[in-house]
Structure 1
Amino acid sequence: MRRGVLAKRNAAAYVAAKQTEPCGVSTPLKLAIWDVDGTIVDSRQVIQKAMDRAFRRAGLGGIDYDRTRTIVGLELTEAVTRLAPPDFGPERAVQLAGFYKEAFVEQRAEAGFEEPLYEGVRDTLERLVEQGWLMGVATGKARRGLDIVFEHHDLHRYFDTLQTVDGGAGKPNPRMVLDALRETGTEAAHAVMIGDTGFDMAMGRNAGVHTLGVSWGFHTADEIADAGAHSIHDDFDALDRALDSFAESVGTAATPGEKA
């Protein structure tokens, strides 16, 4: 949890303290919910390599990136089911998902393994925290995998709520976004979903939040737009401007270093 904010306060007391300033002016909470793979970390190569290994172990002859990228963000068994032959069957799909997990763990132990942060992401996270945004994650990763990435890059401190597929339905079901809203006491109208795939945009739309697509990950800009993104951004400068505009639209624009 970011600086232990939500861990140290009763949720109701925290919401009340944030929503009412000394002058009595209401200050709505703002929540930015982030996807991880393809949005915060560049995991394109490692995901493709793991998927290709898994398909080869299953006797399917490997798989290319243009197919793999289409399913990133989905719950793993659903993802491999979409990629496997139509007659593959549910039991073999579970086995294929297991092969993928094994391949990913193997990669982590290999020299040169890397899931780098995208350039600019840390600056944006720090700026949003300084401006009083609450921060969340909604990812197709399991919690164990998310924790490994966040511990490696020292990212836990920025976030107030972490939603993974361990807790129930994955994207594009709105469950993770709705859970993040509930945990932080934020209204849907005051939240944004940031992601690189159509699944992120559909999940955000299904939950009634604003959706900001980014074009540097797995899906193309057209695929993100077709899924309902309110806007799509090519770099963090553009994303920062969109977040500032959203903050202004809910009446909570903040200057650098000022708590909202």
Structure 2
Amino acid sequence: MRLVIFDVDGTLIDSQNNIVASAEAAFAALSLAAPARADVLRLVGLSLPETMVRLAPTATQALRDDLVQAYKDSFRTMRLQGHDAPMFPGARDAVLQLAGAPGTMLAIATGKSRRGLEAMLDQHELRGLFHSTQVADDHPSKPHPSMVLAALAETGVAARHAVMVGDTSFDMDMAAAAGVRRIAVGWGYHAPELLVADHHISRFDELAPIFDQMTELADG
């Protein structure tokens, strides 16, 4: 069996506008100066508590906890108002193609909450395609390897037969720490040239052929 582990924000969906707007709303709700857009996007993929540590390093723990809750409230309100994040071009087709490939399982390792991930899966009609869904609610923040290791354990796939597909250095470092190979996408929130990966792709239709090649080499 083979396993493809996907990041979500910046890899499958373009959620940057919702993420930045929610961060701005959270800081405004607590009468704090909003962080710069680039600073927020640079931290996409981390858990919310870790994100707030980096965005508000001098704040008390209680204040950071309030920022996390305000962010969640804002993000949920935006979702209920219909501000959904679109999938990147070719993302859904790539997921469906891999889901139908013989001997291939799919997983998710995301900084999203369980509630946020389930809403995304429902919105894009992807529910049931992933054999393992690992979220920030249950694990240390990326780049800790916990999410990838849990996905391997749940699916029973050996690390050499798995790849991580992501857009940030957090994804790449997490995969490396778990002994899983890495495919970096070129359309996400970290500059592609800064991502240390086994392969880089610039379009989703490149993913399946590269994955086939990587797993064939692993078997060889």
TM-score interval, normalised by the smaller of the two chains: over 0.9
Match of 2:201 in 1: 233
Match of 1:51 in 2: 23
**8 Å Cα contact 2:13/2:85 also seen in 1:** yes
- Counterpart pick for 2:63 among 67, 87, 92: 92
Query: What is the one-letter code of the residue matched to 2:97?
Result: R
Match of 1:76 in 2: 48
**8 Å Cα contact 1:204/1:210 also seen in 2:** yes
Count of aligned residue pairs for this structure pair: 219
Query: What is the one-letter code of the residue matched to 2:14?
Result: D
> What RMSD in Å do the two structures reach over aligned CA positions?
1.4
Is 1:115 paired with 2:85? yes
Q: Distance in 2 between matches of 1:218 and 1:58?
A: 26
Match of 2:35 in 1: 63
Q: Distance in 1 between matches of 2:80 and 2:137?
A: 24
Structure 1 residue 230 displacement after superposition: 1.7
Q: Distance in 2 between matches of 1:129 and 1:146?
A: 18
Structure 1 residue 141 displacement after superposition: 0.7
Query: What is the one-letter code of the residue matched to 2:119?
Result: I
**8 Å Cα contact 1:161/1:184 also seen in 2:** yes
Moved over 4 A (4+): none
State the TM-score, normalized to the length of structure 2.
Answer: 0.94
What secondary structure sits across from 2:149 in the alignment?
helix
**8 Å Cα contact 1:44/1:217 also seen in 2:** no
State the TM-score, normalized to the length of structure 1.
Answer: 0.80
Please give the per-residue CA displacement for 1:51-82, whole angstroms capped at 9, x wherever unaligned.
11111222222222211011111110110110
**8 Å Cα contact 1:193/1:204 also seen in 2:** yes
Match of 1:42 in 2: 14
Please give the per-residue CA displacement for 1:90-141, whole angstroms capped at 9, x wherever unaligned.
1111111111111111212325x12111111121112112222110000111
What secondary structure sits across from 1:189 in the alignment?
helix
What secondary structure sits across from 1:32 in the alignment?
strand
Unaligned runs of at least 5 residues, structure 2: none
Q: Distance in 1 between matches of 2:93 and 2:171?
A: 22
